[in-house]
Amino acid sequence: MNIINHQEAVEEELTLMQSLKRFYFTSKWESLLTIPYLFLFLYFAIFYIDNIFLAIRFIFRTFTVTTTLLSLSHVIWGAVFVVALSMPFVISLSMIPVLPNIWKNMVWKKDQKILITIVAFVVAIFLMSIANDLIIAVGQREILDVFLKTGGSILEI
């Protein structure tokens, strides 16, 4: 029974990838708009993947620091920092299947789909911008120096 479920999961993943490929790389004129959208959010994902590695290093750094004398604010600011680091990457990857889901909806009219696409795009860019500013603001707080300083050097933010 697990084998069947595993095979169904693999088939579902393949169909998702195939449906994304079919949506973005069709021989219709709309692909002149969908392909740049895809590459833009793929570029954002590649650009922000370094934040994921920094978040992982930050989390592993907390294992090497003695935390018994640290306050609750250290935990909260550290968690905010890790979440803010991962937000732009997650948003950029999640926006890739959003466009096909909008345009496959048969209930909405074409003008509604265009409006929802524009709103989703603007909201994603806005959220990534806020997360980027939050990373800078939180990363510069002195309370995180306990985690960011490794020997004589500081992890690059």
pLDDT tens digits, residue range 115-137? 999 999 999 999 999 999 999 99
Pick from 31, 28, 89: which is nearest to 55 by CA? 89
Please state the pTM of the whole predicted model: 0.75
Q: Which residues, in sequence order, are CB contacts of 49 under 8 Å at separation 6+?
A: 89
User: What integer pLDDT is reported at residue 21 of this predicted model?
Assistant: 82
Radius of gyration in angstroms for the set of CA atoms belonging to the chain, rounded to a whole number: 20
The model's pLDDT over 36-82, given as tens digits with 9 standing for 90+, comes to 999 999 999 999 999 999 999 888 888 777 777 777 888 888 889 99
Residue at token pair 């806005």: 126
Helix (H, G, I), strand (E, B) or coil at 152: coil
Domain residue ranges of the chain, discontinuous segments joined by + = 28-154
Among residues 147, 141, 138, the alpha carbon closest in space to that of 83 is found at: 138
